[in-house]
Amino acid sequence: MKAFSLKNMSSASYGGLIEKIEVLRSSIRFTPGLTSEAKQTLNRQVAELREELMLLSRKERADTTPLLNKARAQSKKTPKTTQTTTYRRESLLERNFVFEGVFGDSPKLLDAFEIAEKAAPTNLPVLIEGESGTGKELMAKVVHANGKRSDKPFVSVNCGAIPENLLESELFGHKKGAFTGASSDRSGKFESANTGTIFLDEIGEMPLIGQVKLLRVLQANEIQRVGSDEITKVDTRIVAATNRDLLKMSQEGTFREDLYYRLGVIHVTLPALRERKDEISVLIEYFCDEAAESLERRPINISPTLYHFLQNYQYPGNIRELRNIIYRLSCLADETAEIYHLPEAIKPKDRPESTGKGAEMSLADIKKAASDDAEKHYLKEGLKTVNGKVSALAAITGMNRSYLQTLLKKHGIHSKEFKRTNKSNEPE
Ligand SMILES: Nc1ncnc2c1ncn2[C@@H]1O[C@H](COP(=O)(O)OP(=O)(O)OP(=O)(O)O)[C@@H](O)[C@H]1O
Ligand SMILES: [Mg+2]
C-alpha cells in the first residue's frame, strides 16, 4: 500500500498505536484495486483491532483520565496560542484524527489540521492553499476522511491538466452528439462524486468559462451535461486546492471574485517545508521506511553530513522534493547514503560558501559534520577489529559500554554486521 508504513510512526503510546490503526484504515480506503468486499473485511478487522486496543488501554486511561481532564479543563481556559504544540498534537490523535502520513508539532501545520478537522463534518467548501508539494492533496483527503462522507467516493480532478474545450464535459458530462467525438452519453466527475467529495486541484488554472459553470453548482447544487437541457441535482462536497494567489488573481480579473469567495468559505493554509523544519527529521524517517518497503530493501542510514544538509536545505519543491530525494538515496546508496548521492542540481560544492540555495553550512557546522564522520569511521574500524563485540570495543577504547551503544545507534551502526567471519561480506 502506498504511503503506508507501520514501522516508523513515532510513539509506542496508545495514542501512537491508534494513529497507526487510523493510517491503516485510511490506506485501505484509498488503495486502488481492492474490491469493496475486501475493503469491508479489512475495515471490520481493523475496527476489531481498534476495539481490543481500546479495551487494553482502559485501565491506563482510567489512571490518566483525571490528568487528561485537568489538562482539558485547563486548555478551555488557556488560549490556543499558549497550549503546547505537543498537547495539541496528542489531542488530535486522541480524537482519532485520520491522516495518511506523519506529522510533528509544527504550530502552523497543527493550525491547518485543526481547521480541517472542524470543517470535515460539515458540507462547507474548503480551499486549500500552499506551495507545490506541501501536501494539499493529502489535506483534501483529510477533509474527506474525517467527515461523514468518508465511505463515499473521493474524486480528484486536476483542473490544470484538462484542455479547456474538454473541461466542461469532464466535470459535468455530455450528451451523445454534443460535440465531435461524443459518441455516447457520459457522466462527469461531479456525478461520479455524488454523495462524496470532489477535489478540484489547481483550481487557479480553471478557465473563466468553467468557473461560471462551477459557480452554478456551488449556488444551486445542480449540473447540466454538455448538450443537454436536463438539470441534475448533485450532492457533492467541494474541496479545491491552489498554489496561486487567487485573491490577487481575482483582483486582476483572471479568477472570478464571486467564485473565490464561494470556494473559500474555509481556508486551510499549508506551510512550506522550510517553515516547519522541525518536521524534516520525522519525514525523513517516514520516507526512508516507505522507500525501503517499496524498493524491497533495508532502510538506508544517512551520514551525519548528509543529514545536516537535509535538515538545512530550503526545499523549493517541499515535501514532494524531500520524498523524491529519499527515494533516490534509497535506490543509489548501499548501506549509508552520503552527500555525493544527492542530485547534482542541489549537491553542495566543495567550498561551503558556494553551495547556493541549499546547504548554508557555517564553519562550525562543517567542523561538526567532519567530526561526526570521523567518529563513525573510528567506530566501524574498531568493530571490525573486535569482530563486532561491543564489550570488547568498550574495553579497548576505555568507553562506557552504554555510551558506546548510544554512539552506535546515533550513527545507525549495527554491531551484528561486523560479526561475520568472511571479510568480503563486511561493510566497508
Ligand atoms: N505529512 C506528510 N506525511 C507523509 N507524506 C506526505 C506528507 N505531506 C505530503 N506528503 C507526500 O508528499 C507528496 C506531495 O504531497 P501532495 O501531492 O499532497 O502535495 P500537493 O501540495 O498537492 O502538491 P502539488 O501542488 O505539486 O500538486 C505526496 O507524495 C504525499 O504523499
Ligand atoms: Mg496536488
From CA 343, how far away is CA 283, in angstroms rounded?
19
3-state secondary structure of 233: strand
Residues 345-363, mean pLDDT to the nearest whole number: 60
pLDDT of residue 424: 41
pLDDT band at 368 (very low <50, low <70, confident <90, very high): confident
Cα separations (Å) of 163 from 158, 160, 241, 255, 325? 11, 8, 18, 17, 31
Q: Which fold has domain 275-361?
A: Helicase, Ruva Protein; domain 3 (1.10.8)
Query: Are the C-beta atoms of 426 and 418 separated by less than 8 Å?
Result: yes
The confidence score (pLDDT) of residue 376 equals: 82
Contact 75/83 with Cβ under 8 angstroms?
Answer: yes
> What is the number of other CB atoms lying within 10 angstroms of the CB of residue 123?
15
pLDDT at 50: 73
Q: What does the alpha-carbon distance between residue 371 and residue 196 come to, in Å, rounded to a whole number?
A: 55
Q: What local confidence, expressed as pLDDT, does residue 404 receive?
A: 85
Helix (H, G, I), strand (E, B) or coil at 50: helix
User: Which pLDDT score, from 0 to 100, does residue 410 have?
Assistant: 78
Residue 339 beta carbon below 6 angstroms from any ligand 1 atom: no
Angstrom CA distances, 107 to 86, 132, 276, 422, stand at 9, 20, 8, 51
162-186 residue pLDDT tens: 888 889 999 999 999 888 888 899 9
User: Which of the listed residues 158, 283, 319 should we mutate to test ligand 1's pocket, taking the one with most ligand atoms within 8 A of CB?
Assistant: 319
Q: At what angle do helices 136-145 and 107-119 cross, to 10 degrees?
A: 40
| Residue 270, number of CB atoms within 10 A of its CB | 27
- Report percent pLDDT > 70 for the chain: 82
At residue 427, does pLDDT exceed 50? no
Say if ligand 1 is within 6 A of residue 315 CB: no
| Residue of 332, 334, 353 lying closest to 342 (CA atoms) | 332
Tell me which amino acid residue 53 is: L
- Alpha carbon nearest to ligand 1 atom 29, residue: 320
Q: Is the CB of 282 under 6 A from ligand 1?
A: no
- Of residues 2 and 23, more confidence is placed in 23
- Which pLDDT does position 366 carry in this prediction? 73
- Residue 241 backbone dihedrals phi, psi, to 5 degrees: -140, 150
Ligand 1 atom with the smallest distance to the CA of 138 is: 18
- SS3 state at 127: strand
CA 172 – CA 234 distance, rounded (Å): 10
Give percent of the chain with pLDDT exceeding 90.
Answer: 49
Cβ of residue 272 lying under 6 Å from some atom of ligand 1 = no
Are the CB atoms for 10 and 93 separated by under 8 Å? Answer: no
Evaluated on CA atoms 321, 326, 332, 337, the torsion sign reads: positive
| pLDDT value of residue 361 | 62
Whether 276 lines ligand 1, by a CB cut-off of 6 Å, is no
**106-271: which CATH architecture?**
3-Layer(aba) Sandwich (3.40)
Q: Quick one: cell of 136? A: 494539499
pLDDT tens-digit map of 231-260: 999 999 999 999 999 999 999 999 999 999
393-405 tens-digit pLDDT: 888 777 888 888 8
Q: Which numbered atom of ligand 1 lies nearest the CA of 139? A: 18
Ligand 1 contacts CB of residue 138 (under 6 A): yes
Say how far apart CA 261 and CA 159 lie, in whole Å. Answer: 18
Cα–Cα dist 125/140, whole Å = 11
Of 90-94, 307-311, 359-363, the range with the lowest mean pLDDT is: 359-363
pLDDT at 69: 56
- Written as one string, the DSSP assignment of 386-416 is TTT-HHHHHHHHT--HHHHHHHHHHTT--GG
Give the largest CA-CA distance in the chain.
87
Q: How far is the CA of 270 from the centre of ligand 2 (A)?
A: 12
Taking only the tens place, the pLDDT of each residue in 53-105 is 766 665 454 444 455 555 555 555 556 666 788 889 989 988 889 998 999 98
pTM equals: 0.68
Identity at 51, one-letter amino acid code: E
pLDDT at 287 over 90: yes
Residue 422's pLDDT band (boundaries 50, 70, 90)?
A: very low
Given pLDDT bands bounded at 50, 70 and 90, which one contains residue 118?
A: very high
Q: What is the pLDDT of residue 385?
A: 85
Pocket of ligand 1 contains residue 204 by CB under 6 Å: no
**3-state SS class at 324:** helix
* Alpha carbons 1 and 136: distance in angstroms, whole number: 20
Mean pLDDT across the stretch 35-58?
A: 76
- Ligand 2 ion: nearby residues, β-carbon < 5 Å: 137
